[in-house]
Amino acid sequence: MKNISKENLKKRLQFFQSIFVVLMIIALFTKFYFVAFSYGMTSIIFYSFSKLFSRLKNDY
């Protein structure tokens, strides 16, 4: 298991956050399949967050 520095973790979280915001704006403009799209995106985002935080907890 490679170490993840706190700065690297913050960069990753900001990256995921910016992707999430952009995709949600696109979904709002299209308003097509909005519920399914937002549910899928939030589940992917929260899964990635849980993986990152479990890795961080193991490292520190």
The pLDDT tens digits of the residues spanning 8-41 come to 878 888 888 888 888 877 777 777 666 777 778 8
Residue 40 placed within a domain: no
Residue 8 placed within a domain: yes
pLDDT at 16: 84
Residue 10 placed within a domain: yes
The count of structural domains within the chain is 1
pLDDT at 59: 66
Residue 23 placed within a domain: yes
Residue 15 belongs to what domain range? 1-27
Residue 39 placed within a domain: no
Comparing 57 with 46, the larger pLDDT belongs to: 46
Residue 45 placed within a domain: no
Q: How far apart are CA 29 and CA 23, in angstroms?
A: 10
Residue 19 placed within a domain: yes
Q: How far apart are CA 53 and CA 28, in angstroms?
A: 29
Residue 3 placed within a domain: yes
Q: Which amino acid is at 55?
A: R
Q: Which pTM was predicted?
A: 0.40
pLDDT at 2: 60
